[in-house]
Amino acid sequence: MRKNLRRRFWFEIGSAVMTGSLAIITALLPDWIELVSGWGPDQHDGSLEQLLVAGLFLATIAVFALAAMEWRRTLVGDGSDGVYATTIGNAP
């Protein structure tokens, strides 16, 4: 485990897990919105749930990508510890 992971990474991972879980729950149990809130904005035709699954899936991918960027930041370093990344290949 990396010692220098920022809180931002853990927030992004938690957010991705939450949105991914909601996407799976909504795909498997599409009427949970009506069950929890008692509100049926799409009159039980499932269109809201399909949009919600797609949006949550896209949000999950985006947040996981942000977390991956934060993870890679710890691999390379941002220079705050005095260590800087060097380019591989045609370095002068």
Contact 67, 9 (CB under 8 A): yes
pLDDT score recorded for residue 67: 93
Q: Which residues of 29-56 are buried (b: 16+ CB within 10 A; e: fewer)?
A: ebeebbeeeeeeeeeeeeebbeebbeeb
Q: Which residues, given as ranges, of the chain have pLDDT below 70?
A: 1-3, 77-92
pLDDT score recorded for residue 39: 79
pLDDT score recorded for residue 82: 53
- Give the number of other Cβ atoms within 10 Å of residue 25's Cβ: 13
Contact 63, 12 (CB under 8 A): yes
